[in-house]
Structure 1
Amino acid sequence: MTNAAAAQPTVSDAQKACYRRDGYMILDNMIDAGTLAMLREECAYFMGYKDAELDLGGRDSDMITQRGKRYFIYNWYRKSQRLWRFIFSPLMAEVARAALGDDVYLFHEQWVVKGAEQGMSFDWHQDSAYVQSFDPATQHRPFLTCWCPLDDVGVDNGTVYLLPHSRGGTQAGIVPHRKDPATQDLIADNHGDPGMPICVKAGAIVAFSSHVLHSSGANRTDTLRRVYLPQYSAEPIIDSKTGKPLKLAVPFVKGGRIVYDPETDLAAA
């Protein structure tokens, strides 16, 4: 993406078939070094913004964010002058079209960071369950989560574990979850299946359906584990109570072509 002459990474037919069958695809070597450097810088800025917000409120936690332990910083991309270049890039259009088809909207975006030597684990859940927790009557189609590690990830630093549809029984939709009163996490039953640990290098994209069960372990290393996570939908996800978009609904791709307009979008900041 930083070199216009570089070949655009593509999603193979085999990867698309894996997504259709089991709800995920692992795409190695997708994000170039220059873009990774930009994302790491932006991550540091946004962690600083979040700590300042916590300071103003005189608290150490906010929903599922726990200061110094784990951060979930979401839907602030318009505060940045360059983050949109990744979110709405030809690369992300390629990935989103492979999973969702020719119409794509940005639904949600967030930084997910686990602190060094104390980053908390995250129990088994479906991303669609969090939508359901906000809007119990939701009828939304599965959306796409693009889990983009900014560091090499493995078991020691709290990588994501996936349960493919065939193992998690999630082809039919959202399974029951309960809420942990201490962390506010939603938790589903994995029925004793440990799942697949995803061990990939920084620059990969782990793309999975919002119906796929996933979890992550604690970060036991002495460095941060940083992930950027844009989520896309095939249509706006509407709050059944208000008739308005539940989160974001930023047009990205229409009829297979990128239609995102940064001037109009960033003016809304």
Structure 2
Amino acid sequence: MTTIAPDLAERFRTDGFAFPVNALTPAEAGQALAECHTYLRTVSAAGGALARYATFPKIHLVSTWADRIVHHPAILDAAEALLGPDLLVWSTNLFVRPAHSGSSLAWHQDAVYLGLNGFQQHAARVWVALTDTTVANGTMRYARGSHLRGTLPHQFSGSELEDIMRGEEITVDIDEAAAVDVVLKAGECSVHHLAMAHCSGPNHTADGRFNLAIDYISPQVSPTEGEDSALLVRGTDTGAFLPETRPTADFDRAALQQFYSAVARRQKRIDQVVLNRDSQDRGEADRTQDPA
């Protein structure tokens, strides 16, 4: 049994995050990084939906290195300490900040895009470092306690390409003094609440930064609308989600069929979530302009 810090769940509840959490060994992290590079070369050469969805949201359904990480006992023990004994993987996301990249992400919350009921108490994102994460290579920053404010309004901060590439930004003030840099060694991970406000900076180093994010949920979570699927990784009960199965080999036929179905289903649902949110935001803006 993995040793989990006794205050992990308390820090998660009060701060909205906790790190560092021991996950992969240095050797496991090195192997996963090498396999990740091979995976990226393979999907890039394949093109099509594999390339389009190379970094989200179902990497674990076609790649055994990602499947191995989402089932890693140390990571599951941490997730169980936060969410209970029944665990599903809803999504995997690969975050790569290339060497000497000027890219960055504005302050934002993951929850506003996901369309999940019950995420407040029954979901967590685990951010696994496949390389060291530092301020110099653009690691994440958390705004301590921001998850307690609920989901916040977002909009693009400007119309320039750079603004759009940075993504939608929270439109209320973030206390920079409460910001915490997520500094991890390769193999360690952090956990954060889906309503945690966070951002990341450019990579000023000669090496790429690689992180695999895993969204764990319990069966109490359900889609706000439409069908969705998830992979049971510990315990029992898939709740409101269609069940997924583990890949037996990288990119085998059954895995690919499941992957294509799952990402199409997810994309359709998220597109509707975003459309509904945009319509709601426009309605609220209209009401603000017309008090009558």
TM over 0.5: yes
| Equivalent residues in 2 for 1:38-57, closer than 5 Å | 38-52=31-45
Match of 1:86 in 2: 69
Say whether the 8 Å CA contact 2:94–2:211 is kept in structure 1: yes
Unpaired runs of 5+ residues, structure 1, are: 1-7, 64-70, 133-137, 257-262
- Match of 1:265, SS? coil
CA distance, structure 1, for counterparts of residue 118 and residue 127 of structure 2? 20
| Equivalent residues in 2 for 1:65-104, closer than 5 Å | 72-104=55-87
- Match of 1:48, SS? helix
Q: What is the aligned counterpart of 2:24 among 26, 31, 40?
A: 31
Match of 1:199 in 2: 183
Is 1:161 matched up with 2:141?
A: yes
- Match of 2:195, SS? coil
Say whether the 8 Å CA contact 2:95–2:211 is kept in structure 1: yes
| Equivalent residues in 2 for 1:69-218, closer than 5 Å | 72-132=55-115, 138-142=116-120, 143-165=123-145, 168=146, 170-179=147-156, 182-183=164-165, 185-189=167-171, 191-194=173-176, 195-218=179-202
**Percent identity of the aligned residues?**
22
Q: CA RMSD in A?
A: 2.8
Say whether the 8 Å CA contact 1:156–1:220 is kept in structure 2: yes
**Larger radius of gyration between Structure 1 and Structure 2:** 2
Q: 2:87 corresponds to which letter in structure 1?
A: V
Aligned length: 234
- Match of 1:219, SS? coil
Say whether the 8 Å CA contact 2:88–2:217 is kept in structure 1: yes
Is 1:229 matched up with 2:221?
A: no
Q: 1:217 corresponds to which letter in structure 2?
A: G
Q: CA deviation at 1:236?
A: 6.7
CA distance, structure 2, for counterparts of residue 119 and residue 237 of structure 1? 36
Say whether the 8 Å CA contact 2:103–2:166 is kept in structure 1: no
CA deviation string 1:153-183 (max 9, x = no partner): 2111001100122xx2x31421111246633
Q: 2:231 corresponds to which letter in structure 1?
A: V
Q: 1:208 corresponds to which letter in structure 2?
A: H
- Match of 1:83, SS? helix
Unpaired runs of 5+ residues, structure 2, are: 238-243, 249-253, 256-292
Q: 1:221 corresponds to which letter in structure 2?
A: T
Q: 2:117 corresponds to which letter in structure 1?
A: Q
CA distance, structure 1, for counterparts of residue 172 and residue 24 of structure 2? 31
Is 1:22 matched up with 2:4?
A: no
| Bigger helix fraction | 2
Q: CA deviation at 1:104?
A: 1.1
- Match of 2:125, SS? strand
